[in-house]
Amino acid sequence: MKLQLKGVTKRFGTFTANDQIDLTVQPGEIHALLGENGAGKSTLMNTIYGLHSPNEGEILLDDKRVTFDGPGDAVEAGIGMVHQHFMLIPVFSVTESVMLGYEPTKTAGMIDFAEARHRVQEISARFGFDVDPDAMIEDLPVGAQQRVEIIKALSRDARVLILDEPTAVLTPQETDELISIMRQLKEAGTSIVFITHKLREVRAIADKITVIRRGKIVGEALPESTETELASLMVGREVNLATQKEPATPGEIGFSVEGLTVVSGSGKVVLDNVSLSIARGEILCVAGVDGNGQTELAQAILGLRSAVAGTISLDGTNLRRMSVKERLNAGIGFVPEDRSTDGVIPAFSITENFVLDQYDQQPYSNGVAMRPSVMREAAVNQTSRFDVRLGTVDDPISTLSGGNQQKVVLAREMSRDIRLFLASQPTRGLDVGSIEFVHRTIIEERDKGTPCLIVSTELDEVSNLADRIAVMYRGVVVGIVPGDTNRDVLGLMMAGVPVEEAYTQAEQHHTILGEADEEAQA
């Protein structure tokens, strides 16, 4: 089916999220919509899917004008969408999930399970999905859950399929499977729009690339364009994708974790006997698919979760029995994963956020009363050193962009003498310019001789920063490998394959993205 947008504009209040968007997706085309976080990609897709109604412009399906009052209409018209966060119910079986909302019925409104099950099997077989219709959603790996979402869309005869950041939660190998599924769908004539901010994917998969920046279409590109070309189009200026860094000069061990085990509230082991050590002047990145214990590792190190066993030692002191405050005072600089809930207090001023975890320390207070003028002066100095774009430091931090908020957090953590820099997803949701800045700052901190532990699910970030990489899978460290390890190997390790086996398997099977990588290097 041909999908065409003409002058689609969507405003929220005074903010224009999509400005005069023209887009044509031909039948059987894989069309990538590339843009930074906040560029307006998801808004545009939600408009197509009937979740928003456009202020201006029109949507044409096979040259017929359509208007949707809700997703129901869009589904009716043949549009399917797989959201970044899956809309599945954990305790449902695959069949139940697929038929939910569109249950085939027998006489007297009885649900026709056999028919529903048959339909799942039929679609699954047609595209070689390998999904058991009776499996429970919660037992399936993320990649399979995504396939269930795709089956769901196909079972409603979707002929335009929208995939919103489909690879965000996948290992490179799972991404590979997704790519082959997308190609099969394309063969069958389905049009695919897929949204992403990852450059290497677009180049490997898309037939056509549309780049969107600040709500406007800024250009179209062919998959033959280089990553640098795509990046500059996406950001609007020349960008340097790989951060320049000197080889590490590791000193003695500054921080180590030994046999750390953490059990969640529901009794599940979320960290299983994790051991790591980081030298001064070294960056250790923890890679892995989201939800494999990395968050818990960072929380346990800071003391937000208590460990049932193991030691956490910083310069030879065991931190395990200490409170969060004692650990911060012992020299942990922490950048949390979720900035808006854990990193800053939106209603507090920039100054107050700048001292958020040192408010009772010298020189900001004498322990009882705070010293507003000292706080303010330090905030002014450090925010300018970290190039935070702000009005005054007395404004609420919520008035800043995400990138600038993150810079305030970094300024806070790095403006004191720290013995360990611990950051979880330090660039999540940031624009390319801020990402460059954050990466440079982290490398500077390393060069000052601070051990750095960076948790990241973005392989690009990991290979940019890491001197060594620890890969986690289901709460276990699968292995620790050098920073320049091949992506295929990392991908296999992220799926739980032990180090040596991962190397041999990666030799035999290149992923599509891995190949694209090597071509780019050649």
Partner 1 sequence: MSTQQTSDDARTPGGALKEAESRLHYAVRELSQASWVITLLSVLVALVVGALLILATNPQVQATMGYFFARPGDFFLTSFEVIRDAYSALFRGAVYDWQAATPQRAIRPITETLVNAVPLILAGLGIAIGFRSGMLNIGGQGQIILGATCAAFIGYAFQLPLGAHLLLALVGGALGGAIWGGIAGVLKAKTGANEVIVTIMLNNIALYLIAWLLRQQWFVQTGSNQPISASVDESARLFGILGTGFRLHAGILLAIAATIFVWWLLERSTLGFEMRAIGENPEAARTAGVNVPKATALVLIIGGALCGLGGAAHLLGTEYRLAAGIAGTLGFDAITVALLGRSRPLGTFLAGVLFGGLRAGGVLMQAQTGTPIDIVLVLQSVIVLLIAAPPLVRAIFFLPHPDGSPRVRRRRRLRDQQAAEAASEPAPTQEVSK
Contact by Cβ (8 Å): 135, 94: yes
How many Cβ atoms from other residues are within 10 Å of residue 92's Cβ?
16
C-alpha–C-alpha distance, residues 93 and 140, integer Å: 10
Which one, 243 or 261, has the nearer CB to partner 1?
A: 261
Of 290, 387, 394, 518, the one binding partner 1 by CB under 8 A:
290
Number of residues that bind partner 1 (CB under 8 A): 60
Interface with partner 1, residue 102, by CB under 8 A: no
Which one, 26 or 240, has the nearer CB to partner 1?
A: 26
C-alpha–C-alpha distance, residues 443 and 112, integer Å: 60
Restricted to residues 422-481, the positions that interact with partner 1 (CB under 8 A) are none
Interface with partner 1, residue 138, by CB under 8 A: yes
Which one, 258 or 360, has the nearer CB to partner 1?
A: 360
Sign of CA dihedral 296, 301, 306, 311: positive
Q: What angle do CA 434, 438, 440 make, to 5 degrees?
A: 115
Minimum CB–partner distance for residue 372 and partner 1 (Å)? 7
Could you give the strand order of the β-sheet that contains 269-279, starting from the edge strand earlier in sequence? 269-279, 253-263, 309-314, 317-318
Restricted to residues 358-397, the positions that interact with partner 1 (CB under 8 A) are 359-360, 365, 367-370, 372
Minimum CB–partner distance for residue 264 and partner 1 (Å)? 5
Interface with partner 1, residue 26, by CB under 8 A: no
C-alpha–C-alpha distance, residues 487 and 446, integer Å: 24
Name residue, tokens 């051990």.
Answer: 451
Minimum CB–partner distance for residue 170 and partner 1 (Å)? 11
Interface with partner 1, residue 64, by CB under 8 A: yes
Q: Do the bridges between strand 253-263 and strand 269-279 make them parallel or antiparallel, or are there none, so unpaired?
A: antiparallel
C-alpha–C-alpha distance, residues 206 and 192, integer Å: 9
Which one, 128 or 372, has the nearer CB to partner 1?
A: 372
Question: DSSP characters for 432-457?
Answer: HHHHHHHHHHHHHHHHTT--EEEE-S
Q: What are phi and psi of 447, to 5 degrees?
A: -65, -20
Interface with partner 1, residue 345, by CB under 8 A: yes
Burial degree of 268 (CB within 10 A; 0-12, 13-18, 19+): exposed
Minimum CB–partner distance for residue 62 and partner 1 (Å)? 10
Minimum CB–partner distance for residue 63 and partner 1 (Å)? 5
Which one, 192 or 397, has the nearer CB to partner 1?
A: 397
Q: Residue 201 has which token pair?
A: 């994917």
Minimum CB–partner distance for residue 348 and partner 1 (Å)? 6
Tell me, what amino acid is at 266?
Answer: S
Restricted to residues 168-187, the positions that interact with partner 1 (CB under 8 A) are 169
SS (H, E, C) 43-82: HHHHHHCCCCCCCEEEEEECCEEECCCCHHHHHHCCEEEE
Of 113, 348, 419, 476, the one binding partner 1 by CB under 8 A:
348
Of 244, 266, 373, 508, the one binding partner 1 by CB under 8 A:
266
Per-residue contact string for residues 306-325; x = within reach of partner 1 by CB under 8 A: -----------------xxx
Q: Name the site residues for partner 1 (rule: CB under 8 A).
A: 6-7, 11, 13-14, 54-58, 60, 63-65, 85-90, 137-138, 142, 145, 169, 264-266, 268, 290-291, 302, 304, 323-325, 327-329, 334, 336, 341-348, 352, 356-357, 359-360, 365, 367-370, 372
